[in-house]
Chains A and B, each alone.
Chain A
Amino acid sequence: MAGENRTPEGEIPEEELERRLRALDDKLDRNREIRAEAQKSRPDNSGFGNALRLSTEFVSAVLVGAAIGWGIDKVSGYPPWGMIFFLLLGFVAGVINVMRAAGTMADPHRKGFEPKAAPKKAAPLDDEDEDE
């Protein structure tokens, strides 16, 4: 324990104790605030990294759509239709992926995440607009 600032009887004066306790409380609060703020930061904020991330989200969705389409074409007997359909779907999924990743759309897969400037989604009617 610190030995500074003791009275001749060896006791730490009351004000010193008060001051130290208050300093500790302040430091703990500030620490908690800092940690809470740091946790709020979203991943991938740098421009280059974000750009690459969004583009890969899009491309991978198209690729998966193409792969599924190609597989379905091999199984079924109608050659191009599966590919076309699933390529289109892949395209849409890619766009949705990008919008979710960019924050333009709400991502139900992400905890407590809300779109940046979107009105409260109340009506359930035209939810997933295809040709966005």
Chain B
Amino acid sequence: MFISNAWAEEQSGAHSSTDGATHTETGAVHDAGHGGVFPPFDPASFASQLLWLAITFGVFYLLMARIAIPRISSILEVRRDRISQDLDEANRMREEADAAHAAYEHELAEARKNATAIAQKANDEAKAAAEAERQKTEAGLAEKLAEAEARIAGIRAKALGDVDEIAAGTAETIVKELLGGTVTKADLAKAVSEAAKQGA
């Protein structure tokens, strides 16, 4: 690494113009004979380099610490907050959607349950009504039937009574016609009823 030895042949003089090169106001680049000192190890430039390094690095540090770093950190923080906020929002919405979905399902089940109940109730009602109707009709028919039977019985009884009278009248006429005598009505009635007893 110490190439200054290797380049020794290029030097014009050994250490003529190196030490304390402070007052040499050349302002120009040294040509072939750089005095034989390896520039990074040349103490003459140290002070200037240190000073300007201090100045520039100091300025840089201030710029970073005051401007650039706060800016970037705030950008990153805003983004992080925004992301977490958005994530929370998305989660919350997801939960809401879940709740809404569950409610919807619940409602649907309820409605379906209600529907069957209503149908069942309507069915029962219809059946009951039909039953009532039937019973009413039956009752009416039974009534009519009873009434008819009563009339028939009445007519029959009357008819039977008439039969007795007709038989008595006929027997009177026959007796009159055939025997030429008269019979009392009481005797006629007795005979008829006795005949009826025997015959019926």
Do A and B contact each other directly (Cβ–Cβ < 8 Å)? Answer: yes
Near A by CB (< 8 A), chain B positions 66-93 give 87, 90-91, 93
Q: Does B97 touch A at the CB level, under 8 Å?
A: yes
B90 to chain A: which residues have CB within 8 Å?
A: 21, 24
Are A14's CB and B101's CB within 8 A? yes
* Cβ contacts under 8 Å, B87 to chain A: 24
Residue ID in chain A nearest B93 by CB atoms: A17
Closest to B83 in A: A28
Query: At the interface, yes or no: B112 with Cβ under 8 Å from chain A?
Result: no
Interface residues as binary, B148-162 with A (CB distance below 8 Å gives 1, 0 otherwise)? 000000000000000
Q: Which residues of chain B from 38 to 97 have a CB within 8 Å of any chain A CB? A: 87, 90-91, 93-94, 97
Interface residue tally for chain A (C-beta within 8 Å) = 5
CA distance A14 to B95 in the complex (A): 11
**Main SS of the interface on chain B?**
helix
Minimum CB distance partner of A18 in chain B: B94
- Chain B residues within an 8 Å CB radius of A18: 94
* Docked CA distance A21–B90 (Å): 8
For the complex, give the distance between the alpha carbons of A24 and B90 in Å. 10
How far is B95's CA from A21's CA once the two chains are assembled, in angstroms? 11
Q: Which residue of A lies closest to B86 (CB)?
A: A24
Q: Which of B127-180 contact A (CB under 8 A)?
A: none
Q: Whose C-beta in chain A lies nearest to the C-beta of B90?
A: A21
Query: Cα distance A21–B94 when bound, in Å?
Result: 8
Instruction: Collect the chain B residues with CB atoms within 8 Å of residue A14's CB.
Output: 97-98, 101
Contacts of A17 in B (CB 8 A): 93-94, 97
Query: What does the 1/0 interface line of A15-31 toward B look like (CB < 8 Å)?
Result: 00110010010000000
User: Chain B 93-128 against A: per-residue CB contact (8 Å), 1 yes, 0 no?
Assistant: 110011001000000000000000000000000000
CA distance A21 to B89 in the complex (A): 11
How far is it, in angstroms, between the C-alpha of A25 and the C-alpha of B90 when the chains are bound? 11
A57 to chain B, nearest CB (A): 17
> Considering the complex of A and B, which 7 residue pairs feature the smallest CB-CB distances, nearest first?
A21-B94, A14-B101, A17-B94, A17-B97, A14-B97, A21-B90, A24-B87
Provide a sorted-by-A list of 12 A–B residue pairs whose CB atoms are within 8 angstroms. A14-B97, A14-B98, A14-B101, A17-B93, A17-B94, A17-B97, A18-B94, A21-B90, A21-B91, A21-B94, A24-B87, A24-B90
Other than the given A17-B97, A21-B94, 10 more pairs (CB < 8 A) read A14-B97, A14-B98, A14-B101, A17-B93, A17-B94, A18-B94, A21-B90, A21-B91, A24-B87, A24-B90
